[in-house]
Structure 1
Amino acid sequence: MRMLMRLVLGLFVLKAVVAGPRFSRQVDLDTYDNANYDVDLDNLNLENQDMYDYEDGLTIDDPQIEIGTLAPPDYNYPVPEASLEEQEEEEEDEELPLTPQLIPQGSGGSGVLMGPDTQKEEGLLPATPETPQEGTGGVEGSVSSGEPEEPEEPVIDREGMPTCLLCTCLGGSVYCDDLKLDSVPPLPKDTTHFYARYNRITKINKSDFAFMNKLKRIDLTANEITSIDERAFMGLPELEELVIRENHISQLPALPETMSLIDACHNNIGSNSIHKEAFKDMTSLLYLYLTDNHIDYIPVPLPDSLRSLHLQRNNIQMMHEDTFCNLQDFNYIRNALEDIRLDGNPINLSRTPQAYICLPRIPIGDLI
């Protein structure tokens, strides 16, 4: 009974407490805290879920790095000594402009381009030993003073060299001009025109043009020829033109009847240096040039085919009336001979007026 009374009393007290204002405020606070606690738990669960989802997507290629846990990078790595030296050399190369200079080598030939560092530190380059050449002495005397020397003229061994390698061969023409030849080189058998001007040929031998059956023109202008073999040109059945001007020839050799041009100006040909009637049978001769020699007469008889005769600056003192004309035939006219040069000779053309009556033009020369 007593226990029942206590239970009822306790219920009344509890009801009174619940009905009080303080208890109601506390209950509200507790309810608010529980609600907030539930919200925080939900947020925490969402964050954990996001973290777990993100971790599930991680692979080896995408590592998760926590910022702030790594130490700052250290860029002060130790530099090897060799790299420092290379950097210093590069800096020096940038500061010093490379000025190429020519350092002579050997006997004054071509040099090598060296930079300023190489010149300052000569010990960096090994010395190249020079091999003394025959006839040039040792190495000491072969180094020049620094100025480039003019290249010496190359010495060409012309003996035994094929003519078309030494000279220029174009078809049947062989050009050997200005090659410092001292003799006529062997020519191909089919040569038709041969040019050897401005050389040092001193003599023409009979064998130089032997068996040259197609040779038509020979030009030996400005050599040092002093003698020509008497039969040097007689074995040439097709020879038409011979140019031997500006030499030292004192005797005009025998020539074939096929000649159309003979040029022997500026030589030492005298009165007795031309064969008697040397041009009589040359029925195709058109041009005869004997200027600047020592001839004292006109070499007659001259063929009717002749067009031009140059004898200026010789020693011709007189001329006969039948030199050009035929005194036995007054109807004879030499129409082809239109160019006769006798100026520079001690001759008075007015003394022999009958010598020109068959000519289309009077010779050029002194008339007084």
Structure 2
Amino acid sequence: MNTHAALTPFRIDIPQADLDDLGTRLAGARWPFAVPGRDDRRDFSRGIPLSYLTELAEYWRDGYDWRAEEAKLNAYEQFTTVVDGQTFHVVHARSVNPEATALLLNHGWPGSFVEYQLLIPLLADQFHLVIPSPPGFGFSTPLSATGWEIGRTGDAYAEIMTRLGYARFALHATDLGTGIMGRIAGVHPHRVIGTHYGSDRVVLGLVGTLFPLPDGLSAEEVAQLEAIQAEAAAGRGYLEMQNHRPDTIGPALTDSPVAQLAWIVERFRLPDNTGSTPDETVDRDQLLTNVSLYWFTRSGESSAQFYYEGAHTPLELSMAPEVPAGWAVFDSHPLVRRTMDPWSAAAHWSDFAEGGHFPAMEEPELLASDIHTFFRDLT
């Protein structure tokens, strides 16, 4: 797999010409005609409302300060390394505690290492944090070839931990990062201290397809599950496009910052019953830093390829029953455990009413506390 194992120091320095180009494109954005009756900035029933999107784009152009956010990100040690021909960008936030445990943080889409910005200082007492970007995400671009999916990425992450000198390490993941984490634990169980899952009720939308239907559901539970699945299906347009037609959506995400903004920001909104906008769920500047990272690295298109590869690669399940597993479920529902842990085999399980799909941004204190609690008894 490896012919060149160097860890090359990396510093973010987006050219000023790219910032100027972004401002020009946002200023000259060609907006659709507003549809009568669609002026409620909180009505996401048909997607992201035009009134909300224009407001956010104006702030991105005139109120948001990339250079200030770039400086914050550069406070952390970063490097790039090449594994199996692919360049990987990695954040390595070392603890001041020399006895700290290595913790590999795995993000999904449309997240990035920016997703863990608020979590890093909350974990620094106990963990050396390693945050790789998957192939085609952020500065792990451009893609070296096709074929980069969950299994291959998990193998590459294990190699990165070897290069950093971590023989054993802990794992935390959300979204598609949980698949990467599962691969690492399944193939390298002797190296993994434990796996910690960050999840939410959205996972119930995959019951009956990716996950089996629990036995013995009552009529009321079936109705609850069907309502959650219907809501999940309504928001799955991005998934079908990226699973099957990434080449079609890719040029729009690369050429139009407004398209990239809408494509990502909608995913950060909590379920409809909250009535909140995405930047009321997470910090507005952090959200735009995440979007900006996709824009400047042109990774809207290449990150979509990761979905295609996953949808068209036979899933190799890697089981690791000997590795302790912990779960923190946000915006939880009782059916999550019935589905994901029907035998109550998880070594640790926490349910939270707060938060949602991006707990490191939405509820970093709760997530950090749960990670500390789970791994405290394992290290």
Do they superpose with TM above 0.5? no
Higher relative contact order (CA 8 A, sep 6+): 2
Q: Answer 1 or 2: which has greater strand percent.
A: 2
**1 or 2, which has the higher helix percentage?**
2
Relative to the length of structure 2, the TM-score reads 0.22
